[in-house]
Amino acid sequence: MVHRRHDSTGQSGSRWGGQKGGTQEPSDHALGRSRGGFGTKLHLVTDGRGLPLAVEATAGQRHESTQFEVLMDAVRIPQALGRPRSRPKRVAGDKAYSVERIRTWLRRHAIGAVIPQRSDQLARHRGRPLNFDREAYRRRSIIECCIGWLKECRRIGTRFEKLAVNFLAMVKASIIQRILRILFSDRA
């Protein structure tokens, strides 16, 4: 006689046979090794004022450029009238985003790229260098300030949650708190 608790028809680690965290939970729980150690990498898109528009969490070893299309599809830019825009006019990123796939995606969607070329790309493309707006690139520090603010949130900086969906929910709750704080400080 086999007791139901010992029957191996369900997934291990879950009481009712389903996967912990549901179908949205990645198998690695968005944890992995990178140069900085064992952790999670947050991919973030902000507007020109530093308000986060979209966020995604992946394992530490995943490259930044792998989540670019996913994040850009999640962006909704609020407007004074009408429904939110889904595409910004320009996107600024560091040299990690200087990939032909990303530049092609941006051209196809009529979005200006403010991304410097890597040194290995300069040698490969012997023709005319890509247009690069240094003044617009300097404003990219806004997202670095937003990441620094997120690291100050203790629960996010230390990642108390095991499941990636719970961690991402805490990041989104912190983002909502930041947006409300900015909105209410503007009105005062």
Taking only the tens place, the pLDDT of each residue in 1-31 is: 544 554 444 455 555 555 565 667 777 777 7
The tokens of 105 are what?
Answer: 């995606």
Give domain status of residue 3, yes or no. no
The tokens of 117 are what?
Answer: 């070329």
For residue 17, which phi and psi values (nearest 5 degrees)?
95, -10
Give domain status of residue 14, yes or no. no
Taking only the tens place, the pLDDT of each residue in 63-116 is: 888 889 999 988 887 778 888 777 888 888 888 888 889 999 999 999 988 888
Give domain status of residue 35, yes or no. yes
Give domain status of residue 16, yes or no. no
Element (H, E) at 40: strand 37-46
Please give the residue range of the domain that contains residue 68. 24-133+140-187
Length of the chain: 188
Taking only the tens place, the pLDDT of each residue in 43-58 is: 899 888 888 888 988 8
Give domain status of residue 129, yes or no. yes
Per the CB < 8 A criterion, the answer to whether 97 and 65 are in contact is yes
CATH code assigned at 69: 3.30.420
Cα(29)–Cα(59) distance, rounded to whole angstroms? 8
Extract long-range pairs of 138-147: CB within 8 Å, 24+ residues apart. 139/48, 139/92, 140/92, 140/93, 140/94, 140/114, 142/46, 142/48, 142/49, 142/50, 143/44, 143/46, 143/50, 145/50, 146/44, 146/46, 146/50, 146/52, 147/42, 147/44
Taking only the tens place, the pLDDT of each residue in 142-186 is: 888 888 888 888 888 888 888 888 889 999 999 998 888 888 887
Give domain status of residue 160, yes or no. yes
Cα(33)–Cα(84) distance, rounded to whole angstroms? 37
Give domain status of residue 7, yes or no. no
Cα(125)–Cα(153) distance, rounded to whole angstroms? 43
Amino acid identity of 72? Answer: M
Residue 113: DSSP 8-state: E
Give domain status of residue 144, yes or no. yes
pTM score, two decimals? 0.72
**What is the total count of domains within the chain?**
1
